[in-house]
Amino acid sequence: MSGLTHIDETGRACMVDVSDKAVTTREAVAAGFVRMAPATLALAVSGEGKKGDVRAVAEIAGVMAAKRTSDLIPMCHPLAISKVEVRVDPADDGLAVTARVKTTGQTGVEMEALTAVSVACLTLYDMLKAAEKGMVIEAVRLVSKTGGKSGDWTA
């Protein structure tokens, strides 16, 4: 009806049946950015904030989020994730967040990578909001994906 994979022929939302898809190695990379004032960035990089090492906590939160994606996004399949790597690195005007997620299965890990980045960014905001309420979470996006029927893709 719509050409969307999560909408059936009657227009109802549905989980995609992946049982006939080939098992392949699949990987996705996502990125995001938290824009902040220089003083807030210095606090985040120092690791000496009141709540501890905010970058390390955000990285762990991102890993945990990737593993729980199917609990948050209704039509996502629960996946056996083989690797999740989340990095929070200082950049001009803020913190850059990247997530790399890998599995071997019948469906991709794009949503897991995007969820990891989103939750890591939200964790940074939560842990730094006492220093600055005006931070901006931006540019959460898929950077690349490999594997599966649709093949490789890069932004």
Q: Which tens digit of pLDDT belongs to each residue from 46-92? A: 987 777 899 999 999 999 999 999 999 988 889 999 999 999 999 99
DSSP string, 48-117: -BTTB-HHHHHHHHHHHHHHTHHHHSTTPPP--EEEEEEEEEEETTEEEEEEEEEEEESS--HHHHHHHH
| Model pTM score | 0.90
The per-residue pLDDT for 9 is 74
Indicate whether 1 pLDDT > 60.
no
Dist. CA 103–CA 113, nearest whole Å:
11
Tell me whether residue 126 is one of the annotated catalytic residues: yes
Q: DSSP state, 7?
A: B
Average pLDDT over residues 121-133: 96
Q: Which CATH number fits domain 38-145: 3.40.50.1820, 3.40.228.10, 3.30.70.640, 1.10.10.10?
A: 3.30.70.640
Catalytic hit among 53, 93, 126, 152: 126
Question: Cα separations (Å) of 21 from 17, 18, 34, 73, 104?
Answer: 9, 5, 37, 21, 12
CB 58 within 8 A of CB 124: yes
Dist. CA 34–CA 44, nearest whole Å:
11
Give the chain's length. 155
Q: Helices 38-46 and 54-67 sit at what angle, rounded to 10 degrees?
A: 80
